Amino acid sequence: MIHLHCTFSSSFGDFTIIWKEIEGKIRIQRMFVSDKKLSAEEKTLGFFPDSEPSSAALINKQGKHIQRFLSGEEVKFDLSVLDFDRCSEVQKKVLIAEYNIPRGWISTYKRIANHIGLKNGARVVGNSLARNPFPIFIPCHRVIKSNGELGGYQGGLAMKRALLELEGIKFSEKGKVISTSIHY
């Protein structure tokens, strides 16, 4: 089954949505954001070398939602368009927990692990989010380390911080998150 992709621009650089049609329905397989090393398009062709550029009304709608989100608007994404089949059950639980963190709130890897029943599972949560196939749809920028440091992010730490700041999150002079709005 062929993969299709469409690249959009944003204030954070380009992002690419990859999808395929499954039983007559468009299912998003992956999304890539550009970073300092590779563009979203280069990442797409690295993971899906046979992917073809295309467009579809549903994908264009999702691309516009992401552009609005990246410009600071509040957007709630519809997870029913995402294909979680490539995710393990644990990763899916992590991603759903992450998705449910409200805009303007943060959580920690440890809190999410505890919430989904993974005792001492902060590293598992971190690894699941590092491989998040749906950045932005699943707003993994909202998870930080327990000590207030940012942790990692697919689009880079500058993007993670900027996204948090767009949501009203403040930072100390040392770059640690300052927030009383902590989920889970």
Give the active site residues: 140
Radius of gyration over alpha carbons of the chain, in Å?
16
Beta strands in 50-183 (DSSP E): 52-53, 107-108, 143-144, 170-171, 177-178
Q: What DSSP state is assigned to residue 182? A: B
- Here the tokens at position 158 are 């500058």
Question: Hey, is 100 helix, strand or coil?
Answer: coil
Alpha helices (H) along the chain: 40-47, 57-70, 89-99, 109-115, 122-130, 157-166
Query: Phi and psi (nearest 5°) for 19?
Result: -145, 170
